[in-house]
Structure 1
């Protein structure tokens, strides 16, 4: 007989305590295998798929797409096939799970969970389930004698509202985004089922200042006040929760501004020779041709050479000990824009890599970032960040340091500009470089020397030969 097992949100590591449900990968009634991914969640560090340790039939899901769950909260329940003599499956087990005679195995456990099938069941609205007392279940005879009194269900207080007749989690999410109370809507679907069209109609009604469809019951004063306020103010104000990756970035940027006394210096550099060197590296001729090297990879290699000369900028500040901690390895972060916001993947031990190796790792991490598959380890532990905002078509910026690092190099777009070259005016490929640094770890002279070395390598790539 099957046994219902509960799978809880596991500890995802890196000190994370909660996660947002992005997408369910299984439905109620689906058969899942052991270690099959069942839900996609987003933490403050990355988006990951969570595998289920049980194999069986999914009987319930807990949490809607877009909702947050703490670690240890139930995710779903699975009916697992076990032997008939297993503990808790017999009629006299006294477990109170409702798995005795007179009902399907495990059905009592599912009903007692409190929110099974609410919003995730079949197409018809689900009435509130009431748990039958175990004593009444075991006392019922198989013949169902008509003269026997029916078991008395547990009383349900009138103040506890019943489940909302909504099947789709997308409908619930749409209503939540516009702060609509689904209990105040009348569904147009079968048996009053609330459809997406009903929610969209209510949203339009609020925007136009007209009354949305309401049930016969009298709404609470709070609901009336919210509806009147929305109708008077016009279109609803959109509220975007700061959570997940976006929330983590917001917290880190705010902390950086609070704690780090930063300063910025910048310089224009002639990148014509760097672009020519890159073209030569990526030439298809010869047997030594390998993967193409990007401009970002070359700039990253220049950064590692500069940090070897100016180690002050590859450091962090320990506030409690009042110490500057210089770090021996360069774990180079680079800013990557994704659909879910800005993330900073980290190239480990960049000081030991050449331009080709750095470029391959940047390409791999960028692909994983856009697919939402970066692990927390790939997003933490950076010591210096390279920010190529030139991809957005801008020339300069004063970026915020990626706390707890001490500096960030910004790179603008490389565009043809008038430039004095060898005493004559010429059109050259020019780029603006900016360095934002923590003034606690070094003075302007050190920061200026670092940036000037970067510019010299951009203008004359042969300078790098000293460190290769």
Structure 2
């Protein structure tokens, strides 16, 4: 008899809590191998393939294309060919059934000793647990076609607080509970297999508010009670007002609604957070880029790989950050400290059909113009094809925004949280300019620097921007740092 294993949407890392199913790569009844991609999903970071850690026959799929699933929700079930009791206890588990650990975009690897989001094993009534120490998987004919969270459920009897990790849908839910003094071990989640959702934590907090006592005390009182019972609630919170159709405060009916999800939703959240938390300021200057353009033309005429203008600007930024390291920082408000970073990872804004993304060039301070050009080209192509990994979209310490490609001269960019500064570069156009005491037509560019006023004052920001402008006007200034 085949053993049926359920594969859930894995923890995608980088704070990602959900993903949208873009395209199924397998059908029910297909035979899949260990580490074979089974579904293509879009997260708030990138478009990635999710490999399955099990090998066998697909018996069920959960979710249609276009559906958003939270981390921990079931994706597919796979019937593994070898019976569970056909091998010794020490040989069962991830090593025989699959790799057990999903690394999105990179395949899978050997399962760790303890997996995240795994509830403690509980032996069935009247007997002991199976030889592996984990609950026995259901038979193939017991696997439902789809999972539904019941609208009502009976209030369970008092239970023991589980040991080990608590199954929580995201780090944000853990932080919400921690900041409000709520013990997650005292809650029963309403998600699949008891997964604690944000709604469960918010319900417990509302219940605590209604009773006029701390959340931790309320959670202790409702020990072992489901967060939202339908029959015997532990607390009856005050009813929330329901808006009537005539008193709607939303937009006029008939407009076009675009869901803020995926990459667009992540960008919206990050920009909103930046505006809320960062006291930013902007300074700008016009610079004569004629000599920089001539230097680039001379480099490209000498043979070898072509050097991009963006790479030269990035090289100038790394030299400026070496002089003004305050702008290569982040602010830790919990510790009330400014953390000055040792390495420079430059992000750059890239517009794609799926929205704005900011790929990151790692260790930009250790790269020359050729290496920077090649890395910018690689990441730009990956952004266009939607193959950037979460690791290539996070970890930046400074951002370079070349909005001049859109034909505009200036802008006041929003800082890419949690960084401390962003350099904006406008279009380079011929303009009248006083050069060596005479009026001449020169290639002029506007540079703008938006910075976090908590990490430095205007003098430091102005010095950084002036140094960048000097390097643009006289590229030989860079020779001091090469």
Into which bin does the TM-score normalised by the smaller protein fall? 0.5 to 0.7
1:23-42, Cα deviation, whole Å (9 max, x unpaired): 22222333333221111112
Unaligned segments of structure 2, at least 5 residues? 88-137, 149-243
Report the Cα distance in structure 1 between the residues aligned to 2:383 and 2:41, rounded to whole angstroms. Answer: 15
Structure 1 residue ranges (4+ consecutive) displaced by more than 4 angstroms after TM superposition: 83-87
Report the Cα distance in structure 1 between the residues aligned to 2:146 and 2:300, rounded to whole angstroms. Answer: 62
1:188-220, Cα deviation, whole Å (9 max, x unpaired): xxxxxxxxxxxxxxxxxxxxxxxxxxxxxxxxx
Report the Cα distance in structure 1 between the residues aligned to 2:390 and 2:433, rounded to whole angstroms. Answer: 44
Report the Cα distance in structure 1 between the residues aligned to 2:60 and 2:273, rounded to whole angstroms. Answer: 40
RMSD: 2.6
1:152-175, Cα deviation, whole Å (9 max, x unpaired): xxxxxxxxxxxxxxxxxxxxxxxx
Secondary structure of the equivalent of 1:425?
strand
Pick the aligned partner of 1:375 from 389, 392, 411. 389
1:360-417, Cα deviation, whole Å (9 max, x unpaired): 1111111222222222222222111100111111111000011111110000111122
Secondary structure of the equivalent of 2:58?
strand
CA contact (8 A) 2:10 2:72 kept: yes
Report the Cα distance in structure 1 between the residues aligned to 2:294 and 2:393, rounded to whole angstroms. Answer: 33
> Paired residue for 1:464?
478
Structure 1 residue 82 displacement after superposition: 3.2
| Counterparts of residues 441-456 of structure 1 (less than 5 Å) | 441-456=455-470
Report the Cα distance in structure 2 between the residues aligned to 1:410 and 1:48, rounded to whole angstroms. Answer: 30
> Paired residue for 2:145?
113
CA contact (8 A) 1:4 1:109 kept: no
> Paired residue for 1:146?
none
Q: 1:357 to 1:84 in 2, by over 3 A?
A: closer
CA contact (8 A) 2:283 2:448 kept: yes
Report the Cα distance in structure 2 between the residues aligned to 1:291 and 1:403, rounded to whole angstroms. Answer: 34
> Paired residue for 1:324?
338
Report the Cα distance in structure 2 between the residues aligned to 1:54 and 1:462, rounded to whole angstroms. Answer: 58
> Paired residue for 2:409?
395
Relative to the length of structure 1, the TM-score reads 0.66
Secondary structure of the equivalent of 2:63?
coil
> Paired residue for 2:423?
409
> Paired residue for 1:385?
399
Structure 1 residue 13 displacement after superposition: 2.2
Structure 1 residue 114 displacement after superposition: 4.1
> Paired residue for 1:48?
48
1:259-311, Cα deviation, whole Å (9 max, x unpaired): 1111111111111111111111111x5xxx32211000000000000011111
> Paired residue for 1:270?
288
Pick the aligned partner of 1:314 from 328, 331, 335. 328
Q: 1:25 to 1:441 in 2, by over 3 A?
A: same
Pick the aligned partner of 2:369 from 345, 355, 378. 355
| Counterparts of residues 248-267 of structure 1 (less than 5 Å) | 248-267=266-285
> Paired residue for 2:26?
26
Structure 1 residue 47 displacement after superposition: 2.1
Secondary structure of the equivalent of 1:282?
helix
Relative to the length of structure 2, the TM-score reads 0.64
1:424 aligns with 2:438: yes
> Paired residue for 2:350?
336
Structure 1 residue 2 displacement after superposition: 4.6
Structure 1 residue 53 displacement after superposition: 2.1
| Counterparts of residues 210-289 of structure 1 (less than 5 Å) | 236-283=254-301, 285=302, 289=303
Unaligned segments of structure 1, at least 5 residues? 88-104, 117-224
CA contact (8 A) 2:326 2:456 kept: yes
Structure 1 residue 22 displacement after superposition: 1.8
CA contact (8 A) 1:412 1:432 kept: yes
